[in-house]
Amino acid sequence: MYDALLFDMDGVLLVGAGTDPGVYRMAAHDALRELGVDPPSVPAGDADALEAVHYSDEMATACDALDVDRDRWWAARERHASRRTNARVRSGARRRYDDVAALPDLAADRRLGLVSNNRHATAAFVADFCFPGVFEAVVGREPTVADYRRRKPDPALVERGLTAMDATTGLYVGDRETDVVAAERAGLDAAFVERPHNDAADLDAEPTHVVASLYDLRDRIGD
């Protein structure tokens, strides 16, 4: 039925809905030091903006106040966030869901891709370290503000995955409404995986499949 299956990473393959907020706080400090700013010297309001999980205009304002180039700081923060996240995955502090054991069966007759809102450096590391040889294509956001703004539900990252795999029919597997919407906008079916942090009943968008686990997905589309 599908010649390619594209998987979200956070909340589907890795336990937890996303990167630990503490990673961003420490990465913000790493980036400031790299650009010659001592983090304890930063006023509290600017520090709060720079340490936030999501990019905002307040970050740009804080960079201006500190005479720091926003794009250089953001790229450095993204790089340090990936370094710290990858270390947590390597150490086991960030775990995989047990049902990822279903991936080899899913890959037996179809090509698999990994498409994440997370940073490409982290998605590529997770693919190589946790799932060697499983994913034909890996797509994450590049370390620019422009690419941050292309995160799902924008279909751009999913479309990149499709292009990389030269796929014609596909299913995107996610754990959020934004995944379902991005899949629809990219012309794909969507599978919503129920996890402890989500509830299919809360969705306004309607996925093609709702599954209790990746084992359930394997059994649902196995033929």
Domain ranges of the chain: 4-16+95-221, 21-91
Distance between CA 219 and CA 34 in Å, rounded? Answer: 49
163-183 pLDDT, tens digit per residue, is 999 988 899 999 999 999 999
Ranges of the chain whose pLDDT falls below 70? 223
Long-range contacts of the stretch 138-144 (C-beta < 8 A, 24+): 138/113, 138/114, 139/113, 139/114, 139/115, 139/164, 140/9, 140/115, 140/116, 141/116, 141/117, 143/74, 143/75, 143/78, 143/79, 143/119, 144/71, 144/74, 144/75
- Residue range 4-16+95-221, CATH number: 3.40.50.1000
What's the pLDDT at 1? Answer: 78
